[in-house]
Structure 1
Amino acid sequence: MSNINVLIADDHSMFRQGLKQILELEDDISVIAQACNGDEAVKFTREKKPDVILMDINMPGINGLQAIKEIKLERLPSKIIVLTIHEDREYLFKTVQMGAEGYVLKDAEPSVLIEAIRNVFNGQSYIQANMTTELVKEFNRVTLHEKEKGEENLLTAREIEVLELIAEGMINKEIAKELYISEKTVKNHVSNIFKKLNVSDRTQAAIYAFKHNIKS
């Protein structure tokens, strides 16, 4: 059985230590480093090349999202599991779009996290079951809406650009910066997109964009 070297990135020392003790009860898992912020997570990933990183989102310095972005941009080979309190599907979409291989909530049973670690180490993706269920529900809802809407729901060129960036996981502030428009204008475009596509949130809009390969 291959040994899986793990890096824990979380700003709470007691959580890191407790998690380390749990993981190292497994014969095939070793915690080789601990990072208390995103900067250390990137630094230790470069130096120690862990097989799997358990990445919190809310950390001082650069946060987990920024750390994921840097690690993926540098094409470092470590697999990333987001380990977070956030049940918001927008975070799930954003991290998956950025290249994270897994998403697990901090209140999950240890067996769930251990299964996730082994799965991503073996080249698979892992999203905690209840999160996957929510995504399936959203996909089905969007599919139903598509059957009901007509040609009058076509988006403008600018709305397509905004939708494409929503699908990439950008928040309104980031979209405004990318398109050189005000955040208020972005909010108006997002509102119009929701109305035209008959969706109620960014997750549903992103699913529509993925399914239809929306590109500006």
Structure 2
Amino acid sequence: MIRVLLVDDQQLVRAGLRMLCESTDDLLVVGEAANGHEAVRLAERDVPDVVLMDLHMPGMDGITATERVLRIRPGTRVLALTTFDDDDHLYPALAAGACGFLVKDATPADLLNAVRKAADGGSPFSPPVLRRLVGQAVRSHTFVPDPRPLPELTNRERDVLALIAEGLSNGEIAERLHVGVTTVKTHVANLMAKTGGDNRVRLAVLAIQAGL
């Protein structure tokens, strides 16, 4: 069971998120916080696996709250969930330690999958955010270009890698390729093992460098 803490200053948003989480068998909402101060207190008390963290709140904002939650609960995964997907929110959230970044227009299925992925150690991003991160990484040379060709990949692995570079989620890739999500997850795991890319941003950069 994945223990989830909901943090948002809007009660209606929290109620919707609670209903969504409680519609599943593997997510348990252990608390709700309306501001950063409450988020830190409840994270210490309730030991959530994943915190869904709004960034723009009165008092202590989500950036500061993320830093403080991770200071007292370093094993907790904080997933930023916000209306704004601009760089002024994205990069401070990642610098504070957020493992992923979703905008609030994400589909219910994508949000639930993001929570599960975060709990499993992954880094979920909304597709537009992932594309921007990849573009920024390439422009700023955050990832040193690798002159070596990609290792030997199957045709299907190359297809999956190219779609990761487009910012597609596992579910979207599955729909595009007409395969199951579990199959896509297996391909992604194989790609990480073969390329040494330990997250989707790195995989996407490798795909762009390879011209996929």
Q: For this structure pair, what is the TM-score category when the shorter chain's length is used for normalisation?
A: 0.5 to 0.7
User: Alignment partner of 2:84: what SS?
Assistant: coil
Letter in 1 for 2:136: E
Question: 2: CA distance between counterparts of 1:101 and 1:138?
Answer: 18
Letter in 2 for 1:135: L
Look at both structures and tell me which one has the larger radius of gyration over its CA atoms: 1
Instruction: Find out whether 1:74 has 2:72 as its counterpart.
Output: yes
User: Alignment partner of 1:126: what SS?
Assistant: coil
Give ranges in structure 1 of 5+ residues lacking alignment: 144-216
- Alpha-carbon shift at residue 137 of structure 1 (Å): 2.2
8 A Cα contact 1:35 1:44, kept in partner: yes
Matches for 1:154-173 after TM superposition, within 5 Å: none
Instruction: For residues 59-107 of structure 1, give each alpha carbon's deviation from its aligned partner in whole angstroms, at most 9, with x where no partner exists.
Output: 1221111101111223442110000011112321111121111110011
Instruction: Find out whether 1:103 has 2:101 as its counterpart.
Output: yes
Instruction: State the match for 1:18 in structure 2.
Output: 16
Greater CA deviation, 119-128 or 35-44? 119-128
User: Alignment partner of 1:87: what SS?
Assistant: coil
Query: What is the Cα-based RMSD across aligned positions, in Å?
Result: 1.8
Question: 2: CA distance between counterparts of 1:102 and 1:135?
Answer: 11
Instruction: State the match for 2:86 in structure 1.
Output: 88
Question: 2: CA distance between counterparts of 1:37 and 1:138?
Answer: 31
Question: 1: CA distance between counterparts of 2:138 and 2:50?
Answer: 32
8 A Cα contact 1:45 1:76, kept in partner: no
Instruction: For residues 141-178 of structure 1, give each alpha carbon's deviation from its aligned partner in whole angstroms, at most 9, with x where no partner exists.
Output: 445xxxxxxxxxxxxxxxxxxxxxxxxxxxxxxxxxxx
Count of aligned residue pairs for this structure pair: 143
Does the C-alpha gap of structure 1 residues 83 and 63 become closer, same or farther in structure 2, counting only changes over 3 Å? Answer: same
Question: 1: CA distance between counterparts of 2:123 and 2:133?
Answer: 15
Moved over 6 A (4+): none
Of 39, 60, 63 in structure 1, the residue corresponding to residue 61 of structure 2 is: 63
Q: TM-score, normalised by structure 2?
A: 0.63
Question: 2: CA distance between counterparts of 1:68 and 1:103?
Answer: 12
Instruction: State the match for 1:191 in structure 2.
Output: none
Instruction: Find out whether 1:43 has 2:44 as its counterpart.
Output: no
Instruction: State the match for 1:149 in structure 2.
Output: none
- Alpha-carbon shift at residue 47 of structure 1 (Å): 0.3
Identity across matched positions, percent: 35
